[in-house]
Every structure is written in C-alpha cells, then in structure tokens.
A and B are shown apart, each in its own frame.
Chain A
C-alpha cells in the first residue's frame, strides 16, 4: 500500500457511512425475515453478505433501495431516509437513482438493444442528452468487455455477457453504491469468472458495494468485510480472514463447513 492509498483509506475510515440501517425489522406474514438489523457501510467499502438461502440476505439488500418494504426501523442512504411501510416519499426515488443493482436473473430489458438498455435510465431519469448517454454507454460496455455487442438484443447474448450488460446498465447512472443480489448464481460455471472479474475491477476502482453471493473465494479476495446472516440476524461480521477462515460463531462454522466443502 503506498502513501496515497493509505491516506485514501484513512479518509475513507473517517467518512460518515453512506448506508446506515438502524433496527430494521421486516416480516413476511408470520416470518420475521429481518430482525433488528443494524449495519453501516462506509464509502469505498466492499461488504459481502453470506448466509443460507432464506436467511434474509437478499431481502436485506433489497431493502436498501426500497424494493422491499420493512415494518420498523429506518434506513439512510447517502443522506436520504427510507421509512417503514414504504412511506418514504420522494427520497425513495432519489435513493434509487444513486444506488445501482445487479440481479440474479439479470433482468435486462429484452425488447431493447444492449445500448438502449444502458442508455434508457440516464436519458429518462437523469435527463442526459442522447449523445452523452451513448458516449457513456460505449465506454461502460468497453469496460465490461462487450462493446462489440452493443447493437444486439439481450436474448442473443450468453448469460455472462448479459450480466455484464446489466452491470454496465447500473453503472450508467453513476451510482454511489452498488447492490449485487447473487450476481453469478444463475450463470453456467464457465461464465462466473468473467462477471466476477468485472466486479473485481469495480471494487478496485473504489466503488462502494454490498454483495450477496455464494462465491467464497471471491469474498475472501475482494471483501473488506464479510457479514454472516442467519435467521434474519447478523450473526457474525468482520474481515474475510476472520469470518471465513476463523469463524467464532457455531452457526457460521457449520454454514461455512457446508459451503466450503465442495
């Protein structure tokens, strides 16, 4: 680490959190999906959230951009507040323009070309002129290695390519925070690497990221902090070498022994 990056890291440490969840509770009927979640993420931090399916990890990040409502507590993203029961008013949309999301199923718009997928939101939401949006889109597509597919439709691309387009689409809004909801879980094994590579580059560029994933190797390498969730609660968190290699909690140990075995 050279002086410059150390300084940057210190600055980062002193910065106020960009995401703050305080006593967030969510219920699906009788199911208490999130229980008193307290969590802060500082700018530039890469947080990887792991846990069994149904543990609430996806629900947690979906609350951050208001795709899921919660019933009590509050969430603050970059100074904008989300309130229980979706009563957040205008701040919800402000948050969504500042927070990008990549989904497990890509969710590209099948009726639009790759280029239009990437330029839609900058033009309609940010009000950018078409030229500027196109320029940015081409740059982003190049960055994720699919510049030559710009005119195609999503259906003509492989899963790995689609997910990289989805990443470019989210980045086109110049988000301050990126959410990843199991971005490689729907991919064929041979395509996982290309998506993780693109995410790694993004992390190295200093993007703040909250990532739900089962890719433990990737977590170990890229995460500043790993959070283990079980039954809607944060059971354990810390640097990857602590949580993944030397877990203190019994549940974390049992989860990791199941996940890391294969």
Chain B
C-alpha cells in the first residue's frame, strides 16, 4: 500500500505535556460555565412555566436570544464588545465562563421546563392533598423526579458545552485548542497535535458520559 503520509507518534506524544496545560482551562471554563448555567437554567426554566405572564416573557426572551445566537458570537461580543460599554477590559477566562453560562443556561432552562412539565399532575395533586404547600410539593415531590428525568439531557448539554469551549481559542484563553495552535506554530505537526487534542476532548467527554451513566443507574433504583 502506498502510504502518502506519515503519522509521527513521537511528535504526538511529545505534544502531550504542553497540551495538558490547556486542560485545567478547558475544565474550568466548561464546568464553571455549566455550574452557573445550571443555576440560570433552574431560575429561567421555572420562570418560563410560571403562571404569571409578566415573569414568563423575560424568560422566553432570554432563552430565545441565547439559544438563537452562536456561542462564538456571544463570547466575541462579551470579550471585545462589552469592554466598550464597561470602559475596561474583561479577562478572557471570565468572558469564556460567562459565554458558556449564558448559552448553556438558555438550553438548560428548556431542559428544566421539560423535566418539570413531564411530571404527571397527579403527583402535585397528591402532595397538595396531603397538606403540603406548593413550594413543599415542588421541592419534595416534583423536583427530585424531574431532576432524574433531566439527567440525560443535562449530560448532552454538558458535552456540547465542553466542546464549545474550543471556540474560545479565538479570545486567547489557553485552553486545549489554543495550546495546540501554539504548539503547532513551532513544530508544524498539525496532524499529530490536532489528533491528540481530539483525543483529550474525548477523554473528558467520555468521563462525563460515564459519570452520568453511573448517576442515572444509581438514581433509578426502585423506580
């Protein structure tokens, strides 16, 4: 067979220590953003189904705006655009976390809404009929069941957001892709390095998938 390219394993392995320096940034942006996004998602997801229309529409507006615009545009807007309003620079890490939080928050809002609405109305009625207040019925009966149903969708969102952080190489935050680009600039080993970058993303996302599967199977006991 005529091999027209050579995959230099040594070059790939050599790049690992440098690439690994990007991992903490990737993880920090991903999980920092997702944690804040989860809080945003709970708040706006519940506002989205609030009986009071005045509370519903800001939630709808937020969700539509941040779900309907690219996360790359969002981070560019935050990093390059917002400083013109604020009058001072925003550091790249903050901009990255904020973009993931706002973007994932919009999607998670819809996940929360779907999860809560999927719980049969008889559950709430049973809770209320026992004398629980509405907040108690939500907290002890509806939310635990909704959360369990939300896990697969939250896992999806987590993986999407982790991969989205690769876009933030454009604002110069030293995450995985950025580290790869810097490395390639001096070694010209694009094939090997991007391959390794891809592998490292897989390690992160597969770990998350596995953790979520564990969580799900443990949570489903007895149901």
Contact = CB atoms under 8 A, between A and B. Distances in A.
Interface residues of A, number: 32
Interface stretch (B5-13, B99-107, B123-131, B184-192): B123-131
Contacts of A100: 129-130
B161 to A, nearest CB: 27
Interface stretch (A118-126, A128-136, A217-225): A118-126
Nearest to B123: A107
Interface string B128-148: 111111001000110011001
Contacts of B68: none
Instruction: Give the size range of B's interface with the partner.
Output: 20 to 34
A105 B126 CA distance: 10
Contact of B131 (A109, A153, A173): A173
Contacts of B130: 96-97, 100, 120-121, 125, 169-170, 173
Given A109-B123, A111-B148, A156 B132 contact: no
Interface in B34-90: none
Contacts of B133: 93
A108 interface: yes
Contacts of A93: 131, 133
Contact of B129 (A96, A111, A124, A155): A96
Contacts of B126: 101, 103, 107-109, 166
A113 B222 contact: yes
A109 B129 contact: no
A125 B140 CA distance: 12
A120 B130 CA distance: 9
Interface string A207-245: 000000000000000000000000000000000000000
A93 B221 CA distance: 33
A179 B222 CA distance: 28
Question: Which of A100, A111, A120 neighbours the largest number of chain B CB atoms within 10 Å of its CB?
Answer: A111
B131 A97 contact: yes
Nearest to A67: B125
Given A67-B125, A103-B122, A124-B140, A111 B131 contact: no
Contact of A111 (B120, B136, B145): B145
B122 A105 contact: yes
A126 B130 CA distance: 10
Interface of B: 120, 122-123, 125-133, 136, 140-141, 144-145, 148, 221-223
10 contacts: A93-B133, A103-B126, A107-B122, A111-B145, A120-B132, A121-B130, A124-B136, A125-B132, A153-B222, A166-B126
